A and B are shown apart, each in its own frame.
Chain A
Amino acid sequence: MTATATPAKAEVKTRATPAERRATVIGTVMVLLAVFVFWVFGLGLESGVRSTFNLSLPGERFQNLVWEVNAQWLSFVVAAIMAFLGGLVLRRSHVKWTNVALAIGLGLFALGFLTWAAAEGSFSLVGMLRSTVLLSVPVTLGALSGLMCERVAVINIAIEGQLLTAAFVGTILGSAWGIWAGLIGAMVTGALLGAVLAVLSIRYRIDQIIAGVVINIFALGLTSFLARRVLSQAPDLNSPGRFTSIKIPILGDIPVIGSMFFDHNIFVYAMFLLIIALHFGLFYTRWGLRSRSVGEHPKAADTVGINVYRVRYRNVILGGVIAGFGGAFLTLAQVSRFEENLTAGIGFIGLAAMIFGRWRPLGVLGAGLVFGFARALQQKLGILGTPIPSEFLSMTPYIVTIIVVAGVVGRARPPAADGQPYIKD
């Protein structure tokens, strides 16, 4: 018998792993951004120019809280920290921390950018943070709807259509019978469209993406058709009331935090409660265990007596309810009238937020806030009047979405059976 022994621990010279390559790219980008901050935000400003950030809103208990900084000085500090972090990432010694460094770096970049934009003026920081939370609501709810479905392996690309139709129904019922009727109607609408998606993709096994696109086209066509045929003739059906803010005593008076989180309409509070409920529901209850098993390995679930179809139907319809709730937010809280295609891609951005949030409720919350921030930034910068054309500011959320789905900020595993119909027999 012959034998060739392999050294127990072969020391092999290896090429870069994907993670290391990614670290190189990200590190380089961060260093370049640092140079950009130094050059444009730092050297581009007169020395001694100050930026003022308002930390309180009119009507709050504590007034006139401001943070005033030397804009150039702050830009230099930001550039230095970013360069340092970029250098750390480039050294590849702590590949695991790449994402953390990237997140801090991007946060600093945003700060530097705001400082530059607010130079020689004042900027309502707390107003923007409050908008961030508000604008994150439809994105987060859309993402949670997607999460409900994808956790049981049904891709819901129809979030956009569910939001739009629910917003429409919410408007009409809200105008006719009051905002609570509008809210309930919107949620029922979401459930119905969820049921349509479920039937098409589970019962008829239509490709789930096609089924979703169909629902979107149908929703766009139907709401536009009805808006022109009905709402234009009966404008009083297009002015529902609004859910107003309810300030939580004591907590709502805390500077910054109070305005951000504790002085909102019911949609915001419901969103936070939903996040918590879904987090515990998904990972600590029987419902969650069964749902996840159906999304990861439906056959295994089937062989232990779980009705895969029933679980899928239930979750997809519940996902529709959540999207319907988000749709109601659009016309019963954010604005109080319906316009053709008023969602403008929010549903798809929600889908990206779900991916970015790694199919986890808490992750989705974080992702939703990032998108909310992008939108808030876009709005506030429009008011500040920067040299950047408004069209480019409007593009930001969509560009951020592409960056997110391209996995530039890391990538997680989707549920293993995602998108695949389950076929018994």
Chain B
Amino acid sequence: MKLELKGITKQFPGVLANDNVNLSIGEGEIVALLGENGAGKSTLMNILYGLYTPTSGEVLIDNQPLELHSPGDAIAAGIGMVHQHFMLVPVFTVAENVILGDEPTKRIGWLDARRARKMVKEISGRYSLDVDPDAIIEDLPVGIQQRVEIIKVLAREARFVVFDEPTSVLTPNEVEGFFEIVAGLKADGKGIIFISHKLGEALEIADRIVIMRRGKTVAEVLPEEVDEEKLAELMVGRPVDLVVHREEAKPADVVLSVENLVVLDDRLQRAVDGLSLEVRAGEIVGIAGVQGNGQTELVESLTGLRTSLGGVVRLNGEDITTKSPRAIHKRNVAHVPEDRQKSGLVLPFTVTENIVLDSYYEAPVSRGVQMNWGAARDRAVRLVEEYDVRTPSVDVLVSTLSGGNQQKVIVAREFDRDVALVIASQPTRGIDVGSIEYIHSRIVQERDNQSAVLIVSSELDEIMALSDRILVMFEGKIAGEFDSSATPTEIGLAMLGSQGGLEAS
């Protein structure tokens, strides 16, 4: 049994996403597919799963070409996929999600709930996944949700399983558990494609590593032949410095202090539940933690976007708990939001308009109620140059820029002031290595200018590379504090809610 992708090419308007890509995978084999964001991994997998039709090339199983026009075709051919963004209906139960699309029914399409439940229990038991078939998805932690995705795939009797960035939502300890599950699948004879941009994980788990760059497969190596530096070089196409260089921090006065903060999420649950922290001028504090432990609500509350239910937030001693986003912005707080397209930018606006998005009301960009577009444009031209934003002009729509350049527009807009406090949430999510390096260096530069910096990221590597002090957030509280010498395992334990970090002191 062998799955092959032969000469796959996919042309999008203006982008050649896949360029004559070849990939093969056998039974009981784990192939890691490595590449930067935008290297074409996801496109390739979407073709394999029938979501995209390739411009040319074919997919074969045992040398028989497959007709893949929809995910249904892929499922029928024995191909399963665990998506990076889980394909689970949040308001359904586990069992409902598992049977969706292939429902056991009695007469007139009446759902057979008992059989569904039994099936989930059976698979869950066979691979020791420990999932309750009657739990509602949105109540489950992401780690368990991922297991539901795996059960979905197994329930459809997939012989080949694609995992798209499976570890990005897991804690280091959960990753270990996940690897055990994958090993179990391998022992069961499944062929596994493991998509990642994390080099260490690929080295640890893969039998073979395929590296993609700019839509092409550029190398195929065995884990024992290479190390992380070599892999990074293959991935990016040039030697990469994996460490962020920075001087020792010189923390000064407390800039941001948070006491007993309580914030509700959209479902009116306490997402932040009595949290306290402090950030000093000249230090970078990183907040680590699995997504969905209240980080989003914390940042929204600190920046005035979400009203808090209780507690006090002080900026340089002043109570800003109930201040508006603008009032907080005026106190020189720079905010790089979690989702640049949802809230950081107005996509149908030009680069110029986005550069002045939160300062349009101040001179010289406006005089009274009249905008001064000349001055706005001057500023945009200057910042585009200063922050290395690659754009044909400041008059193009920001939506036409790459993710990395969009992020630089935000960073330019936010840092072009005498910043007292930087709050950056997922500052480098989904952007290319060049932009990541640039934005990291800018953040360190702000710290060296004696700004206080608070970074929130679900990428533990990023937190560890940047932070002078690391706080772990779990269920709305700080579950541990570490200095930059802590190991991922220690931090990982705290991310699971264990008080490991506390006891170690």
**Residue positions of A touching B, CB distance < 8 A:** 1-7, 10, 12-15, 17-19, 284-287, 289-290, 292-293, 296-297, 299-307, 413, 416, 424-425
Q: Is B218 an interface residue (CB 8 A)?
A: no
Q: Which of B100, B111, B502 has the most CB of A within 10 A?
A: B100
Asked whether, in the complex, the Cβ of A1 is within 8 Å of the Cβ of B501, the reply is yes
Query: Cβ of A290 and Cβ of B100 under 8 Å apart?
Result: yes
Partner of B109, one of A1, A285, A416: A285
Determine how close the nearest CB of chain B comes to the CB of A407; give it in whole angstroms. 14
Judging by beta carbons under 8 Å apart, are A306 and B100 in contact? yes
Interface string of B48-91 (1 = CB under 8 A from A): 01011000000000000000001110010000010100011111
Q: Kindly provide the distance from the CB of A21 to the nearest chain B CB, expressed in whole angstroms.
A: 11
User: What string of 1s and 0s marks CB contacts (under 8 Å) between B109-144 and chain A?
Assistant: 111000000000000000000000000000000000
Q: Given that A285-B111, A303-B51 are known contacts, is A6 also in contact with B274, CB under 8 Å in the complex?
A: yes
Tell me whether B483 and A305 are in contact (CB under 8 A): no
Within 8 Å CB of B311, what residues of A? 12
CA separation between A250 and B208, bound complex, in Å?
Answer: 78
Interface range for B: 35 or more
Interface residue? B105 (CB, 8 A) = yes
Q: Is the CB of A19 within 8 A of B268?
A: yes
Q: How far is the CA of A55 from the CA of B75 in the complex (A)?
A: 63
Which of B96, B101, B152 gathers most chain A CB within 10 Å? B101
Query: Among A296, A297, A305, which residue has its beta carbon within 8 angstroms of that of B70?
Result: A305
**Closest partner residue, chain A, to B277 (CB atom):** A4
Residues of chain B with a CB closer than 8 A to A416's CB: 90-91
How far apart sit A296 and B91, CA to CA, in the bound complex (Å)?
Answer: 8
The stretch that binds A, out of B364-372, B436-444, B473-481, is: B473-481
14 contacts between A and B (CB under 8 A): A1-B482, A6-B274, A6-B478, A12-B262, A12-B311, A13-B310, A15-B310, A17-B268, A18-B268, A296-B90, A297-B89, A303-B49, A304-B87, A425-B52
Q: Which residue of A lies closest to B309 (CB)?
A: A14
Closest Cβ of chain B to A17, distance in Å, is 6
Residues of chain B with a CB closer than 8 A to A302's CB: 51, 70-71
The 8 Å CB contact of A10, one of B90, B152, B274, is B274
- B482, closest chain A residue (CB): A1
Report chain B residues within 8 Å CB of A19.
268
Task: Given the known inter-chain contacts A17-B268, A284-B111, please indicate yes or no for A304 contacting B101, CB distance below 8 A.
Answer: yes
Chain B nearest CB from A243 CB (Å) reads 29
Tell yes or no: B275 within 8 A of A by CB.
yes
Q: Is the CB of A289 within 8 A of B100?
A: yes
Check: B264 CB closer than 8 A to any chain A CB: yes
Q: Given A12-B310, A297-B87, A305-B72, is A6 in contact with B109 using a C-beta cutoff of 8 Å?
A: no
Q: Indicate whether A4 sits within 8 Å of B481 (C-beta atoms), given known contacts A13-B310, A304-B75.
A: yes
Check A3 against B110 for contact (C-beta < 8 Å).
Answer: no
With contacts A300-B100, A304-B71, A304-B100 taken as known, whether A12 is within 8 angstroms of B274 at the C-beta atoms is: yes
A425 to B17, CA, bound (A): 13
Say yes or no: is B224 at the interface (Cβ < 8 Å to chain A): no
Q: From B156, which residue of chain A is reached at the shortest CB distance? A: A304
Inter-subunit contact B152/A304 (CB<8 Å):
yes
Is there contact, CB below 8 Å, between A293 and B89?
A: yes
The CA-CA distance from A12 to B273 in the complex, in Å, is 9
B274 lies within 8 A of A286 (CB): no
CB distance from A292 to the nearest CB of B (A): 8
**B243 at interface, CB cutoff 8 A:** no
Contacts A289-B96, A297-B87; is A2 near B505 (CB within 8 Å)?
yes
Query: Which A residues lie within 8 Å of B152 (CB)?
Result: 304
Pair A1/B505 contact, Cβ less than 8 Å: yes
Q: B residues within 8 A CB of A13?
A: 310
In the assembled complex, how far is the CB of residue A352 from the closest CB belonging to chain B, in whole angstroms? 23
Could you tell me the distance between the alpha carbons of A7 and B502 in the complex, rounded to whole angstroms?
12
Q: A14-B262, A286-B103, A303-B83 are in contact. List 18 more A-B contacts (CB 8 A).
A: A1-B482, A3-B480, A3-B501, A6-B274, A12-B262, A12-B311, A17-B309, A284-B111, A290-B101, A300-B88, A300-B89, A301-B89, A303-B81, A304-B72, A304-B75, A305-B102, A416-B90, A416-B91
Contact with A along B305-321 (1 / 0, CB 8 A): 00011110000000000
Sorted from nearest, which 7 A-B pairs have the closest CB atoms?
A: A10-B274, A305-B72, A304-B101, A14-B310, A300-B87, A286-B109, A3-B505
**Given A285-B111, A424-B51: A5 touches B502 (CB 8 Å cut-off):** yes
| In-complex Cβ contact of A296 among B75, B92, B309, B477 (8 A) | B92
Once A3-B480, A14-B310, A304-B102 are accepted as A-B contacts, the answer to whether A289 and B111 lie under 8 Å apart by CB is yes
Give the CA-CA distance A92 to B18 in the complex, in Å.
60
A290 vs B83: C-alpha distance in the bound complex, in angstroms? Answer: 20
Q: Nearest CB to that of A304 among chain B residues?
A: B101
B101/A301 in contact, CB under 8 A: yes
B42 lies within 8 A of chain A by Cβ: no
- B481/A2 in contact, CB under 8 A: yes
Q: Which residue of B is nearest A307, CB measured?
A: B70
Tell me if B75 and A305 are in contact (CB < 8 A): yes
Chain A residues with CB below 8 A from B291, complex form: none
Of residues B49, B81, B264, B309, which shows the largest number of chain A Cβ atoms within 10 Å of its Cβ?
B309
Chain B contacts of A10 at CB under 8 A?
A: 260, 273-274, 477
Q: Pick the contact of A306 from B101, B310, B477 — CB < 8 Å? A: B101
| B486 adjacent to chain A (CB < 8 Å) | yes
Shortest Cβ gap from B247 to chain A (Å): 21
Interface flag for B435 (CB, 8 Å) = no
Docked CA distance A417–B230 (Å): 44
- Hey, which chain B residues are within 8 Å of A300, CB to CB? 87-89, 97, 100
Q: Is the CB–CB distance between A6 and B275 below 8 Å?
A: yes
Minimum distance in angstroms from B468 CB to a CB of chain A: 12
In the complex, which residues of chain B have a beta carbon less than 8 angstroms from the beta carbon of A305? 70-72, 75, 101-102
Q: How far is the CB of A111 from chain B (nearest CB, A)?
A: 33
How distant is B266 from chain A, measured CB to nearest CB, in Å? 9
CB distance A296 to B89 under 8 Å? Answer: yes
Bound-state CA distance A284–B103 (Å) is 11
A4 and B479 CA atoms in complex are apart in Å by 9
CA distance A223 to B439 in the complex (A): 61
**B501–A286 CB distance below 8 A:** no
Shortest CB-to-CB span from A98 to chain B, Å, is 14
